[in-house]
Amino acid sequence: MNVWVIGASRGIGLGLVERYLAQGAQVLALVRAPNAALDALMATAKGRLRVVTGDLCDPDLGTRLLEELRPGSLDRLIVNAGIMGPAEEDGQWATAAELGELFLTNAVAPLRLLDVLAPRMAAEGVMACLSSQMGSVSLARSAEMPLYGASKAALNSLLQSWVAGRQPPCAVLALHPGWVRTELGGASAPVEVADSVAGLVATIEARVGQSGSAFLDYQGQALPW
């Protein structure tokens, strides 16, 4: 099984790489810079881990990655990369550059990559983007982080529009990983990376052979868009 994790240097992305390697998959990990944790994993992965350098926001990333695989051979594409955005969550004070980076990274670039790589997906493949329950418009849980929540709501909206327009044969998921103890989640987050990742992988694998879009948490529960 071929698994690609986009944004794999640390946190949930690194955990997904470890989990899929442990399950015997061939994994491609995309990172922005050389990474000691992945170098260490490579030493034990027996040729099943390939680390590629790139930036999700690079408009040529998808075209470059297309050359890595023949059509129909990518089983799982997981766009994990995401940022919290400006420290000042009040949109009134955020700069245009900060807002552009937030919405490009969290919403536009993931869908751009899905669109370019869709022809490489296996018939029973799964495409997934790391979203957040803060992106749920109906739950409206983003009172403290409205910009971040809006960027994930934009991701969810773009994902649904893309699936409706493109109708890919495989499942396309927006995933909430829980509130996870990472650099982004912070030290007081209650969920360990390993627990989040175990749940995310089980949730992804349960969708094999299905089509359409779904917004799910790491325990496989459907969330309202």
Segment interacting with ligand NAP, rule: CB under 6 A, options 40-48, 89-97, 118-126, 176-184? 176-184
As measured in angstroms, the least distance from the Cβ of 206 to ligand NAP is: 19
Give, as ranges, the residues between 50 and 69 that touch ligand NAP (CB under 6 A). 55-57
Q: With contact defined as beta carbons under 8 Å apart, do 62 and 113 qualify?
A: yes
Q: With contact defined as beta carbons under 8 Å apart, do 170 and 125 qualify?
A: yes
Pairing of strands 171-176, 26-31: unpaired
Using DSSP's 3-state secondary structure scheme, residue 60 falls into coil
Q: Determine if 110 is a binding residue for ligand NAP (CB under 6 A).
A: no
* Radius of gyration over every alpha carbon of the chain, rounded to an integer in angstroms: 16
Give, as ranges, the residues between 138 and 167 that touch ligand NAP (CB under 6 A). none
Task: Give dist(CA 170, CA 114) in Å, integer.
Answer: 12
- Provide the β-strand partners of residue 134: none
Q: Pick the closest to residue 140 from 73, 209, 225 (CA basis).
A: 225
Q: Determine if 86 is a binding residue for ligand NAP (CB under 6 A).
A: no
Q: Determine if 185 is a binding residue for ligand NAP (CB under 6 A).
A: yes
As measured in angstroms, the least distance from the Cβ of 29 to ligand NAP is: 9
Segment interacting with ligand NAP, rule: CB under 6 A, options 8-16, 45-53, 118-126, 205-213? 8-16
Residues that bind ligand NAP (CB under 6 A): 7-13, 32-33, 55-57, 80-83, 105, 130, 132, 176-177, 179-180, 182-185, 189
